[in-house]
Amino acid sequence: MRLTVREVILGLRRAPLLSALSILTIAFSLFAFGLFGLVALNVSRTLRTIEERVEIRAFIADGTPVEAVSAAVGDIAAFPEVARVDMISPEQALARARKELAEFNDVFDADVLPASLEIRLKPGYRDPKTVQAVAARIRTYTFVDDVRYGEDWVRKLYNIRNVAGATGLVLGIAFAAVAVIIIGSTIRMTVLARAKEISIMRLVGATDGFVRRPFLIDGFVKGVVGGVLALLLAWLAHSLMDRYLIQTTFFDRSMAIVGVVSGGFIGLLGSAVSVGRHLHEV
Amino acid sequence: MIRFTHVTKEYPRTGIALNDVSFRIGKGEFAFLTGPSGAGKSTILKLVFMEEKPTSGDVRVSGMHASEIKRHEIPLLRRRLGIVFQDFRLLEDRTAAENVAFALEVTGAPRDTIPSRVSRLLTQVGLASKGTSYPRELSGGEQQRVAIARALVNDPMVLIADEPTGNLDDRATRGIFQLLRDINAAGTAVLMATHNLDLVRRSDYRVIEVNRGQIVFDSADSADAAEPLPPTSA
């Protein structure tokens, strides 16, 4: 192991420019991927915030006994899809309407606004089909006059979410593939620069594993260093965007660690493929 | 120890390099492999250290058959061989001692034994005082001595030398040849490919002459043959 580490250090010292170029190439490839990840993260968070607004409103017929409504609230809250049920009295509805639609203040009257139930759904149950199914069940209560949930809006939101998810997946795979190819080619240059050394190692009886090991460590280390640089660049981009354009969220600690370690593994994979190919050619 | 039995080697692009070649090299033997460029000498050597596999026929080296050997066994075979090339193949950024030590390190020799073994080998090839010199600071003959020291690190049964004097002047050639003789005298077999017919004539070692992929003369089984080698002005 000590010999392997020494070979890695020697390799870095022997070709410092090539090593620096490899690290920068890895850093910029991962930075592009990281920027995409940042956009995807923020789009996904925004969509999730919008999704949280998906609610079903059940209007209650005038004169319904409070006990009946309270029992129904308990029932509905027990639905597996339901996160929360709130009962809104006509007075509360009026207060809210006055607050949200101040320009129509003089039109509102508590008598025209019915009592209602506001039902919020759990994450994962906010798709049009589930919302519709829950609404249908609520409609079966005899005291429910009407049920509304913005059918069109929910459908559009869900479509946007699906398109964003699919685009994100395809772009993510494409960015990752480009990063792996670029990093693999960079590491291949390192391998070719040390082709003579490899041929000598093989002539004197080094096993393939022995030849491969320093390159794998080299690839992993470069990947990790490139990953850290990419993370710094992404943070810089995020800070500038946050300050001058729009408020954005940055990766949390676990995402950052996963990103850097992924850089290491991409480097390791690139090295394994490049050295493997070279060993089979010679 | 080395046995070729009806060996043919054909390359997809350049065609037949060896055609029905058979010979054997015994323990402690010294044999020259001669012939013009492209005759097949290097192909024979590559088959010996299993850089190549025969298209047909059998190559057996130190009990291992080319047709049966697994990829992971080839390094083990090479540790029983010493290999020397015309272009020395030294690592330019390592000293003579480090180049020799490198061969010991990659084969997993105990670390504490390496310095003394390197020192002994450099002394054996006459470079005791040049251990800290880099290849660029050494003459061609000295670089070849380092390469020979490296080839000897694992006490090989046979030393394979592909034109080891090809890049050297007469004086260095004589020195390297004498070194190979000494190595052979100590019990290591030597198989040396060379163009240098003067060298061949000056010794009474076995000569295997190859031409167009075939053995056209082998002094071991042609004791009564006519002079095999053409006159030379070299």
Residues B168 and B75 in one domain: yes
In a domain, A40, yes or no: yes
Residues A97 and A179 in one domain: no
Are B77 and B25 spatial neighbours (Cβ–Cβ below 8 Å)?
no
Give the 3-state secondary structure of residue B208.
Answer: strand
Domain encompassing residue B142: 87-155
Residues B129 and B193 in one domain: no
By CA distance, what is B156's nearest residue in A?
A: A204
Are A89 and A115 spatial neighbours (Cβ–Cβ below 8 Å)?
yes
- Alpha carbon distances (Å) from A87 to A44, A69, A198, B110: 30, 8, 75, 80
By CA distance, what is B81's nearest residue in A?
A: A204
Q: Which two tokens stand for residue A15?
A: 């070709």
- Is B78 within 8 Å of A201 when comparing Cβ atoms? no
Number of domains in chain B: 2
Residues A144 and A230 in one domain: no
Q: What is the average pLDDT value for chain A, to the nearest integer?
A: 81
Q: Closest Cα partner for B84 from B30, B4, B144? A: B144
Q: Is A200 on the interface with B (CB under 8 A)?
A: yes
User: Residues of B at the A interface (Cβ-Cβ below 8 Å)?
Assistant: 49, 71-72, 75-79, 83, 89-91, 93, 102-103, 105-107, 150, 153-154
- Is B102 within 8 Å of A200 when comparing Cβ atoms? yes
Q: Which two tokens stand for residue A230?
A: 């990419």
In a domain, B234, yes or no: no
Residue A116: what pLDDT?
84
At A55, which helix (H) or strand (E)?
strand A55-60
Residues B72 and B167 in one domain: yes
Chain A closest CA to B51's CA: distance in Å? 8
Nearest CB among A10, A199, A204 relative to B106 is that of A204
Residues B55 and B95 in one domain: no
Residues B73 and B177 in one domain: yes
User: What's the ipTM?
Assistant: 0.80
Spell out which residues of chain B touch residue A10, defining contact as CB-CB under 8 Å. 93
Residue B226 has pLDDT above 60, yes or no: no
DSSP state for residue A141 in the 8-state scheme: S
- Alpha carbon distances (Å) from B77 to A165, A202, A272, B72, B83: 55, 11, 25, 10, 12
User: What length does chain A have?
Assistant: 282
Nearest CB among B71, B76, B150 relative to A204 is that of B150
Residues B10 and B101 in one domain: no
Give the pLDDT band (50/70/90) at residue B224: very low
Spell out which residues of chain B touch residue A193, defining contact as CB-CB under 8 Å. none
Q: Count of CB atoms within 10 A of residue B202's CB?
A: 11
Q: How many CB pairs under 8 A join A and B?
A: 45
Residues A173 and A269 in one domain: yes
Spell out which residues of chain B touch residue A200, defining contact as CB-CB under 8 Å. 89-91, 102
The dihedrals phi and psi of A96, each to the nearest 5 degrees, come to: -65, -40
Residue A282: what pLDDT?
59
Residue from A202, A203, A282 to probe the interface with B (highest B Cβ count within 10 Å): A203
Instruction: Tell the burial category of A271 from Cβ atoms under 10 Å away from its Cβ (0-12, 13-18, 19+).
Output: buried
Give the pLDDT band (50/70/90) at residue B177: very high
Residues A89 and A227 in one domain: no
In a domain, B121, yes or no: yes
Q: Count of CB atoms within 10 A of residue B100's CB?
A: 31
Q: Tell which of B105, B137, B155 closes a domain.
A: B155
Instruction: Compute the average pLDDT of residues B103-124.
Output: 90
DSSP-assigned states of every residue in A163-224: HHHHHHHHHHHHHHHHHHHHHHHHHHHHHHHTHHHHHHHHHTT--HHHHHHHHHHHHHHHHH
Residue B115: what pLDDT?
93
Q: What is the average pLDDT value for chain B, to the nearest integer?
A: 90
Q: Which runs of E-coded beta strand occur in chain B?
A: 2-11, 15-25, 30-34, 56-61, 64-65, 81-85, 158-162, 189-194, 206-211, 214-218
Residues A61 and A141 in one domain: yes
In a domain, B230, yes or no: no
Are B44 and B210 spatial neighbours (Cβ–Cβ below 8 Å)?
yes
Residue B43: what pLDDT?
94
Residue B225: what pLDDT?
46
Please list the pLDDT of chain A residue by residue as tens digits (282 residues).
666 777 777 777 777 887 788 888 888 888 888 888 888 778 778 777 777 777 888 888 887 787 887 887 888 888 888 888 888 887 777 777 777 766 666 666 656 678 888 888 888 787 778 888 888 888 887 887 888 877 777 777 777 777 877 887 788 788 778 777 877 787 788 788 888 888 888 888 888 888 888 888 888 888 899 899 999 998 998 888 888 888 888 888 888 898 889 888 888 888 888 888 887 765
In a domain, B69, yes or no: yes
Residues B171 and B204 in one domain: yes
DSSP state for residue B52 in the 8-state scheme: S
Residues A10 and A118 in one domain: no
pLDDT tens-digit readout, B9-46: 999 988 899 999 999 999 999 999 999 988 999 999 99
Nearest CB among B71, B75, B91 relative to A205 is that of B75
- Is B102 within 8 Å of A210 when comparing Cβ atoms? no
Residue B99: what pLDDT?
93
Residues A183 and A265 in one domain: yes
By CA distance, what is A281's nearest residue in B?
A: B51
Residues A216 and A165 in one domain: yes
In a domain, B232, yes or no: no
In a domain, B229, yes or no: no
In a domain, B136, yes or no: yes
Q: Tell which of B155, B184, B203 closes a domain.
A: B155
Distance CA B214, CA B230 (A): 17
Q: Is A201 on the interface with B (CB under 8 A)?
A: yes
Q: Specify the CATH number for the domain of residue B181.
A: 3.40.50.300
In a domain, B231, yes or no: no
- Is A207 within 8 Å of B102 when comparing Cβ atoms? no
Instruction: Compute the average pLDDT of residues B151-174.
Output: 91
Q: Tell which of B155, B170, B189 closes a domain.
A: B155
Residues B68 and B160 in one domain: yes
Residues A248 and A172 in one domain: yes
Spell out which residues of chain A touch residue B79, defining contact as CB-CB under 8 Å. 204-205
Q: Is A202 on the interface with B (CB under 8 A)?
A: yes
- Is A207 within 8 Å of B72 when comparing Cβ atoms? yes
Between the two ends of chain B, the Cα-to-Cα distance in Å is 33
Q: Tell which of A148, A176, A202 closes a domain.
A: A148
Residues B171 and B113 in one domain: no
Number of domains in chain A: 2
Q: Specify the CATH number for the domain of residue A130.
A: 3.30.70.3040
> Which has more confidence, A179 or B124?
B124
H-state helical runs in A63-127: 66-77, 90-100
Residue B9: what pLDDT?
96
Q: Which two tokens stand for residue A132?
A: 């519709």
Q: Tell which of A119, A148, A177 closes a domain.
A: A148
Chain A closest CA to B195's CA: distance in Å? 23
Residues A41 and A84 in one domain: no
pLDDT tens-digit readout, A130-173: 888 888 888 887 887 888 877 777 777 777 777 877 887 788 78
Residues B74 and B165 in one domain: yes
> Which has more confidence, B151 or A64?
B151
Domain encompassing residue A25: 2-49+158-281
Residues B68 and B178 in one domain: yes
Nearest CB among B72, B90, B106 relative to A201 is that of B106
Residue from A204, A207, A215, A282 to probe the interface with B (highest B Cβ count within 10 Å): A204
Residue B173: what pLDDT?
92
By CA distance, what is B101's nearest residue in A?
A: A204
Q: Count of CB atoms within 10 A of residue A152's CB?
A: 8
Distance CA A211, CA A233 (A): 34
Residues A27 and A164 in one domain: yes
pLDDT tens-digit readout, B38-78: 899 999 999 999 999 999 999 999 999 999 999 889 999 99
The dihedrals phi and psi of B24, each to the nearest 5 degrees, come to: -140, 150
Residue A3: what pLDDT?
67
Cβ contacts of residue B114 below 8 Å, gap of 6+? Answer: B101, B104, B105
In a domain, A77, yes or no: yes
Residues A39 and A166 in one domain: yes
Give the CA-trace dihedral at A90, A95, A96, A100, to 10 degrees. Answer: 140
**Position of tokens 């033997």?**
B29
Instruction: Compute the average pLDDT of residues B203-232.
Output: 76
